[in-house]
Structure 1
Amino acid sequence: MSIRRLPNALINRIAAGEVVERPASALKELVENAIDAGANRISIALTDGGLAGIEVVDNGCGMVAEDIALALERHATSKLPDDAIELVTTMGFRGEALPSIASVARLSIASRTATGDGWRRVVDHGDVIEDGPASLPPGTRIRVESLFARVPARRKFLRSARSEYAACSDVVKRLAMARPDIAFSLESDGRRVFSVQAGEARLSRVAALTARTLADNAVLLDFEREGVRLSGVAGLPTYNRGVADHQFLFVNARPVRDRLLNGAVRAAYAEMLARDRHPVVALFLDVPSQEVDVNVHPAKTEVRFRDAAMVRGMIVSGLRRALDAGGFRAVQRPAEGALARWQSEPVAPPARDPDMFSAPVPLMATAPQQEPAWLAAAGVAERSQPFLAAAPMGRAEPAAAPVPMAERYPLGIARGQIAKTYIVAEAEDGLVIVDQHAAHERLVLERMRKAADGGRVAAQALLIPEVVEMDETACDRIEERAAELAEFGLEVERFGPGAVLVRATPALLGAGDVHGLIQDVADELASFDAALSLKERLDLVASTMACHGSVRAGRVLSVAEMNALLREMEITPHSGQCNHGRPTWVKLAHGDIEKLFGRK
């Protein structure tokens, strides 16, 4: 077959295939045009998830009639003042968006400058069907209808209206996060979805577009290195999600989806999250134009960095420093499901006897009443009539030392232990419940890290070395990493084809289950050995060791031990979550407690 030139209509449809994959991609191009036009207010309206209609209205600089006609031609743009394409600072610049959309849909564009007259042009699948004056305020209004109506091969691959709406909403949210200086509003089938105002703080804007609770459960970032600035919002590790849809990444105010950046976020949270949980972050990178290539993808959703290693390292270290500054913070709310399980007991009529705590008091009722469970357990024999008795009172005894003031400490003062697992503490602003095993697990890990940074974790030699039998491949993994394990005080050597000999364990762990520790370390190396860097692998090994050396659930702690644990948590980074990403403590604020008892 001989070579031939393609007709313009087919060229436009091919270009549309690159730029307009679905309603969300068309919407992205239109909103970016509005941003580049200098608008500070952008309104978006969707019909049937964008399948039937998309409308974008802005108050930008507007266009005259000649510019409207030129904007609908291929490779015509106002966004490149010269030929330095690598230094582009606008959202888009190829000049293919509007003609590509107009070739596969009915597109209406009306615009007016601040000092000129309004003009409107309508293009239906590549054919101009209307061109004339229009009445509208300064700015631009673009409406796209019947996308891919005449391209059934593309139309049938579009998803349901609900799925397309979700994609459109995600596009608008990401662009709105990138530009808190612009007001955005989104409507779907006449229903207002969200509206954010111009000039909001970055944390407020991100929280408004994701979840309001993020504002109370996040840390702010602001770091700069070698001309690259990293800023944004990072959710606490205990404030996580089951999917990675709440990770928003921006380069020079451009929303991107980049494997390098996603991998850096995963590495920063590696030892603070469970494997199936994902952090909530919105990261903004400001990079000199000559250090980043934004022309990797036609839709500008991918970028390439000149020094990718430096950018990745900056994200990992920046996130960890910000989370370190968060200290012992955890999600500041009890789980709604847990609160829902609290139940109110029936309220008895008031007693006549003023000394209601001294003896059983008859109730003003004729129906038999069930005795309280605690009373039956206490062995009270009188069952001749219904009665109400008070629960046993605690006995006051002189304190051996003055009780510390709760307001002096963020995590309060220990008041007791429940189920030999949870520490109950009284803080100035509420009731704190601490999982002693999870909390101590994190503290041991941070001690091991600190010791490793200082050179080497102290090892405690075993009086009699222990032989741990495993399959040969597991022994191979342990043998290969013996030198690295020794840095954390775990000294091992090969002892035949199917066993390893353990000569010393980390002194921080004390006596423990050596066999279980070695098996768990081997499992961790098998799961992550090829995928993670050496530092990340060592962090996972340290996390596994810390789990074996922490205070177990079921151990009775003295008040002094409980308070010592609380005080160390307050000064230890990341102590708000255990090594697996679960919270180590929760707080019931005074308001929450009052609600439980119907006092508020």
Structure 2
Amino acid sequence: MNIPDPKMRATPVIRQLDQTTANRIAAGEVVERPASAVKELVENALDAGATRIQIAIEEGGKRLIRVTDDGCGMVPEDLPLALSRHATSKIDGSDLLAITSFGFRGEALPSLGAVGRLTITSRAAGAEGAVIAVTGGRLTPPRPAAANPGTVVELRDLFFATPARLKFLRTERAETQAVAEVLRRLALAQPHVGFALTADGREIFRADAEQGELFGALTLRVTRLMGSDFIDNALPMDAIRDGITLTGFAALPTYSRGAAVAQHLFVNGRPVRDKMLTGALRAGYMDVLASGRHPAAVLFLECDPQLVDVNVHPAKAEVRFRDPQSARGLLVGALRHAMAGAGHRASSTGGSATLAAFQPEPGRADADRPAADQPGTRTHDAQRPLLAWHGDRPSGAAIRAGLDMQMPAPGFRETPSARFDPVLDDAPALQDAPLGAARAQIHENYIIAQTPDGLIIVDQHAAHERLVYERLKAQAQASGIAAQALLIPEIVELSPSDADRILSIAADLAGLGLVVEPFGPGAIALREVPAMLTRLDGAALIRDILDDLADQGQSDRLQGRIDAVLSSMACHGSVRSGRRMTADEMNALLREMERTPRSGQCNHGRPTWVKLPLSDIERLFGRKG
């Protein structure tokens, strides 16, 4: 058997791909699915100055995508050029960082024409209308056509020229939802533009143009698209740092979602899905969200185009800041400052859910009642009081000073049975406080407070846990994180580049109690660790931090572990469920909640209190219509 000599193999021939094949390859990057095609076409309409954009799709966009706008339009002689690769009116090529438009690559229309049947009908002001068509990359000359001012782009049979791509598309319903989500994101950034989406002849999305100045129009658009619940539970954002401005709305931690579906980030008006920005959003909510929950936000970053590069992704979905740490610091700092400024505020949806729980199912009130509660039934538990009212008034001086509420106050005594609490002299003044005046404690865990317009229900353990946690964090920040020197330094073997990366942030780690030093090429020595992290796997922590640095450029992992320990300490050091509290103790807790940042949610992201409006309570009893 003759074995061919590898040296005698034929040299591969280098071929120049034809334009149609090149456009189809480009379409694989630019046009992933029908939603991608809609995004490119709508962005072209926005760049043309359109104020009203109508989109029609059939079969999830696979059969038809039609985008009609009232923009500036095109003259007949420009139509063939618009279908040429890398032809655009958005930039002149002199400065790729001075980009103020959505599109600039000149790839979308030729890519769509290479994989589908594309027709463009357009008329510019003062010019005749014309139409041009391209099918699978084959272009036909433009011809005159009747047209309104603006442009109509019709794409039929998407991916008919590359049928293998059709196998990767999802169901018609899923593709239609993806198209609607693309329009929703673009509509959030363009409140003065009207959008309408029709799917198989049925209108499924509409956002009429808003009137008024920009922020007022944006607020109206966000309210319509995100819902009134979001805007009612959102914190307005307005911050600036190093030439970057942040505006928009970020929801309270207690108004969170089970997935990252309500996160909308924009850079210079462009919707983006950037890992650095989404990581900064998570960091801003780091110690206030429940596990598995995701924040809701609509945030806009504006800066000089020279400070951000949008030419890093074919679909323009990612950006790269000249100073990413400045952008990240602005986002994280503004979010934490806004939530600290919100104080004890919690989402209003908790009260609505509580009231809904009071509504009995028709005809099932008696059937669902436990046997112990049926008329004429007596059990041992029936003798246990539901409400524990406290009439004794101890001095409460230490309690009002915000000292340890875990220990019984002077004069405190257990209440063997329910009894009425006499009206306090300072009750009117306390009722006018944000969280009202304490009136009762039920099930030895929930405080009932009265306000002029409703009732407040407070989870005493969750609320005090947050108060103690914030106090511990403030103390740690003021005095620093105590470090414990290791008897024998732990040597961590790394690659030279990873070792340099860790040593570059050694000062930041030392501020958190983790002291690292170089230990020869490709190794570091852990000499001190945070004293509160008694069982620390130093090597694993270092590698986790390196992963964060590679993925996000920054790591909050060590701070997160320290916060988790402080949170655990706060949990064990707070007033426990089942402990009866005096009126002074309850009121002291309410007043401290009003003074403490982020007291509207516990350390695990759950609400610490809910409000029941008096008007809704009266409706429960039929006192108001």
Please show how residues 470-489 of structure 1 align to structure 2 within 5 Å.
Answer: none
Q: Which runs of 5+ in 1 are unaligned?
A: 348-368, 380-393, 460-480, 488-503, 506-516
Q: Distance in 1 between matches of 2:290 and 2:152?
A: 47
Matched, 1:568 2:568: no
Partner amino acid, structure 1, of 2:89: S
Which residue does 1:35 correspond to in 2? Answer: 46
Tell me if the contact between 1:525 and 1:537 (Cα under 8 Å) persists in the aligned partners.
no
Q: 63, 86, 94: which is aligned to 2:105?
A: 94
Q: Distance in 1 between matches of 2:335 and 2:599?
A: 16
**More moved, 555-564 vs 284-293:** 284-293
Which residue does 2:337 correspond to in 1? Answer: 321
Q: Distance in 2 between matches of 1:521 and 1:2?
A: 55
Shift of 1:82: 4.8
Change (3 A) 1:458 1:553: farther
| Identity across matched positions, percent | 52
Which residue does 1:272 correspond to in 2? Answer: 288
Matched, 1:84 2:99: no
Q: 601, 614, 623: which is aligned to 1:590?
A: 614
Which residue does 1:18 correspond to in 2? Answer: 29
Q: Distance in 1 between matches of 2:574 and 2:165?
A: 58
Q: Distance in 1 between matches of 2:259 and 2:242?
A: 33
SS at match of 2:185: helix
Q: Distance in 2 between matches of 1:400 and 1:10?
A: 84
Please show how residues 278-357 of structure 1 align to structure 2 within 5 Å.
Answer: 278-334=294-350, 338-343=354-359
Shift of 1:115: 2.2
Q: 539, 547, 562: which is aligned to 2:563?
A: 539
Q: Distance in 2 between matches of 1:317 and 1:61?
A: 41
Shift of 1:239: 0.4
Q: 275, 286, 305: which is aligned to 1:259?
A: 275
Shift of 1:136: 3.0
Q: Distance in 2 between matches of 1:547 and 1:539?
A: 12
Shift of 1:425: 0.9
Shift of 1:580: 0.7
Q: Distance in 2 between matches of 1:329 and 1:190?
A: 44
Shift of 1:314: 1.1
SS at match of 2:290: coil
SS at match of 1:85: coil
Tell me if the contact between 2:80 and 2:142 (Cα under 8 Å) persists in the aligned partners.
no
Change (3 A) 1:198 1:407: farther
Change (3 A) 1:145 1:345: closer
Q: 399, 417, 425: which is aligned to 1:401?
A: 425
Matched, 1:249 2:262: no
Tell me if the contact between 1:413 and 1:563 (Cα under 8 Å) persists in the aligned partners.
yes
Partner amino acid, structure 1, of 2:255: Y
Q: Distance in 1 between matches of 2:208 and 2:509?
A: 57
Q: Which runs of 5+ in 2 are unaligned?
A: 1-11, 211-215, 364-373, 385-417, 484-507, 515-530, 549-554
Tell me if the contact between 1:268 and 1:316 (Cα under 8 Å) persists in the aligned partners.
yes
TM-score between the two structures when normalised by the length of structure 2: 0.76
Please show how residues 196-275 of structure 1 align to structure 2 within 5 Å.
Answer: 196-199=207-210, 201-275=217-291
How far does the alpha carbon of each residue in 1:237-286 deviate from its partner, in whole angstroms, 9 at most, with x for none? 00001111211111111111111111111111010012211000122111
SS at match of 2:197: strand
Q: Distance in 1 between matches of 2:537 and 2:28?
A: 49
Tell me if the contact between 1:177 and 1:206 (Cα under 8 Å) persists in the aligned partners.
yes
Which residue does 1:437 correspond to in 2? Answer: 461
Shift of 1:128: 3.7
CA RMSD after TM alignment: 3.3
Tell me if the contact between 2:481 and 2:511 (Cα under 8 Å) persists in the aligned partners.
no
How far does the alpha carbon of each residue in 1:29-48 deviate from its partner, in whole angstroms, 9 at most, with x for none? 10110111011222222222
Q: Distance in 1 between matches of 2:421 and 2:560?
A: 51
Q: Distance in 1 between matches of 2:294 and 2:322?
A: 28
Tell me if the contact between 2:80 and 2:141 (Cα under 8 Å) persists in the aligned partners.
no
Which residue does 2:472 correspond to in 1? Answer: 448
Change (3 A) 1:546 1:485: farther
Which residue does 2:195 correspond to in 1? Answer: 184
Matched, 1:44 2:55: yes
Change (3 A) 1:133 1:598: farther
Tell me if the contact between 2:309 and 2:321 (Cα under 8 Å) persists in the aligned partners.
yes
Q: 165, 183, 192: which is aligned to 2:176?
A: 165
Shift of 1:120: 1.8
Change (3 A) 1:555 1:20: same
Q: Distance in 1 between matches of 2:23 and 2:481?
A: 65
Which residue does 1:71 correspond to in 2? Answer: 82
Tell me if the contact between 1:521 and 1:541 (Cα under 8 Å) persists in the aligned partners.
no
Change (3 A) 1:550 1:82: same
SS at match of 1:454: helix
Q: Distance in 1 between matches of 2:559 and 2:13?
A: 58
Partner amino acid, structure 2, of 1:433: I
Tell me if the contact between 2:355 and 2:612 (Cα under 8 Å) persists in the aligned partners.
no
Which residue does 1:4 correspond to in 2? Answer: 15
Shift of 1:16: 1.0
Which residue does 1:388 correspond to in 2? Answer: none
Partner amino acid, structure 1, of 2:104: F
Q: 440, 443, 447: which is aligned to 1:419?
A: 443
Tell me if the contact between 1:333 and 1:588 (Cα under 8 Å) persists in the aligned partners.
no
Change (3 A) 1:167 1:345: closer
Q: Distance in 2 between matches of 1:99 and 1:346?
A: 61
